[in-house]
């Protein structure tokens, strides 16, 4: 794989495969592991480089899979809490969160929240989670706190998707220990592969010492801009290194995808007819096929997405009609 390329055609930096315990031919991790025996497959979405579309991919994929009939639990392990707010899940100061599960030993079942999408629940994050790494330092088996908590609810779900923070600290290590496999989003931009060797090295150490069989199961390319030659160069390099672990589906860079979080909706709810929604629905098809999610139905995912949007438009129209008729208080129409 490319090592420290420089100049206008550079697409990566610091991706020294040999340092990560891989051959020059590409990634040689173990075969991706599934849950099995009626237990959810746990997938950690990880990339310590921020701004690669990790949270957008976690939220959008979770929504599409649930719309297709899968029972999905999204674990927000990022103290920023963007995955939670992206699904309109907001908690008060006294409400249990991922922090309580990791540090206080609260049960996941007591902390999860439902969403507007049937079948999709969220274990929300909170700002307190930022201090969890310090508090966990003295804890026994601190790397396994999340794995122990999630294990109790795995029979109740088809998938558990973990949105990791953009770092390789103790929170991310907890996700790696709890996961059956990783999904790595990589943006199709300059320095997209920067620091990948460190991620691969960390995965290798966790696999050797804490979670035998852990591997990067899949890679998804995000923020693709077909107008640039650089984007295609990144695609070619990633496919060359990760081979069939790279999804065929590529997520484009679109305005609608960037707008969806401000409305606290995943793209498949915000604008199911958009290019971004179409890409994530197709990615959900591919993801479900690879992970053998029998409950997922591609046709249902698209039907439910369209029905949810139609219901939202109808509700907005009814509210507008009521306001025009003078039947609705002004403060309600202003929300």
Cite the beta strand spans of the chain per DSSP E.
41-45, 72-76, 113-114, 120-123, 159-163, 181-187, 216-224, 246-252
User: To which H or E segment does residue 331 belong?
Assistant: helix 330-333
* pLDDT, averaged across the chain: 88
pLDDT tens-digit map of 53-63: 999 999 999 99
Enter the pTM of the model: 0.88
Task: Quote the pLDDT of residue 327.
Answer: 60
Task: Quote the pLDDT of residue 16.
Answer: 42
Pairing of strands 120-123, 113-114: antiparallel
Q: Which of 211, 120, 129 is nearest to 173 (CA)?
A: 211
Task: Quote the pLDDT of residue 11.
Answer: 41
Fold of 17-296: Rossmann fold (3.40.50)
Task: Quote the pLDDT of residue 1.
Answer: 44
Task: Quote the pLDDT of residue 328.
Answer: 53
Task: Quote the pLDDT of residue 47.
Answer: 93
pLDDT tens for the chain, 335 residues: list them.
443 333 334 444 334 443 433 434 578 888 889 988 889 999 999 998 888 999 999 999 999 999 999 999 999 999 999 999 999 999 988 899 999 999 999 999 999 999 999 999 999 999 888 888 788 877 767 899 999 999 999 999 999 999 999 988 899 999 999 999 999 999 998 787 777 888 999 999 999 999 999 999 999 999 999 899 999 999 999 999 999 999 999 999 999 999 999 999 999 999 999 999 999 999 999 999 999 999 999 999 999 999 999 999 999 889 888 888 876 554 554 44
Task: Quote the pLDDT of residue 326.
Answer: 78
Task: Quote the pLDDT of residue 275.
Answer: 96
To which residue do tokens 């592991």 refer? 33
Query: Hey, how many other C-beta atoms are within 10 angstroms of the C-beta on 33?
Result: 17
Query: Hey, how many other C-beta atoms are within 10 angstroms of the C-beta on 134?
Result: 10
Compute the distance between CA of residue 311 and CA of residue 301 in angstroms, rounded to an integer: 15
Compute the distance between CA of residue 296 and CA of residue 63 in angstroms, rounded to an integer: 12
Q: Which of 48, 55, 133 is nearest to 98 (CA)?
A: 133
Any idea where the domains of the chain sit in the sequence?
A: 17-296
Task: Quote the pLDDT of residue 22.
Answer: 42
Compute the distance between CA of residue 246 and CA of residue 14 in angstroms, rounded to an integer: 20
């Amino acid at each position: 794989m490319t090592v420290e390329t420089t100049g206008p055609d550079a697409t990566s930096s610091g991706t020294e495969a040999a340092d990560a315990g891989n051959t020059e031919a590409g990634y040689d991790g173990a075969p991706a592991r599934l849950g099995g025996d009626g237990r959810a497959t746990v997938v950690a979405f990880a990339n310590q480089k921020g701004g690669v579309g990790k949270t957008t991919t976690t939220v959008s994929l979770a929504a599409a899979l649930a719309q297709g009939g899968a029972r999905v639990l999204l674990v927000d392990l990022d103290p920023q809490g963007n995955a939670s707010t992206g699904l309109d899940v907001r908690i008060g100061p006294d409400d249990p969160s991922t922090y309580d599960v990791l540090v206080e030993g609260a049960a996941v079942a007591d902390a999860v929240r439902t969403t507007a999408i049937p079948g999709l629940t969220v274990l929300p994050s909170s700002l307190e989670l930022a201090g969890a790494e310090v508090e966990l330092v003295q804890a026994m088996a601190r790397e396994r706190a999340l794995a122990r908590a999630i294990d109790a609810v795995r029979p109740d779900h088809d998938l558990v998707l973990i949105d990791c923070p953009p770092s390789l600290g103790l929170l991310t290590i907890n996700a790696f220990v709890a996961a059956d496999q990783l999904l790595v989003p990589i943006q199709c931009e300059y320095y997209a592969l920067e620091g990948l060797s460190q991620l691969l090295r960390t995965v290798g150490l966790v696999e050797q010492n804490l979670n035998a069989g852990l591997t990067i199961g899949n890679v998804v390319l995000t923020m693709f801009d077909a107008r640039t030659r650089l984007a295609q160069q990144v695609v070619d390099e990633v496919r060359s290194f990760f081979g069939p672990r790279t999804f065929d589906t590529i997520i484009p860079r679109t305005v609608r995808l960037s707008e969806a979080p401000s409305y606290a909706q995943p793209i498949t709810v915000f604008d199911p007819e958009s290019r971004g929604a179409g890409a994530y629905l197709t990615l959900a098809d591919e993801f479900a096929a690879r992970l053998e999610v029998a409950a997922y139905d591609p046709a249902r995912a698209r039907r439910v997405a369209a029905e949810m949007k139609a219901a939202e438009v109808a509700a907005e129209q009814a509210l507008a009609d009521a306001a025009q008729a003078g039947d609705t208080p002004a403060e309600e129409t202003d929300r």
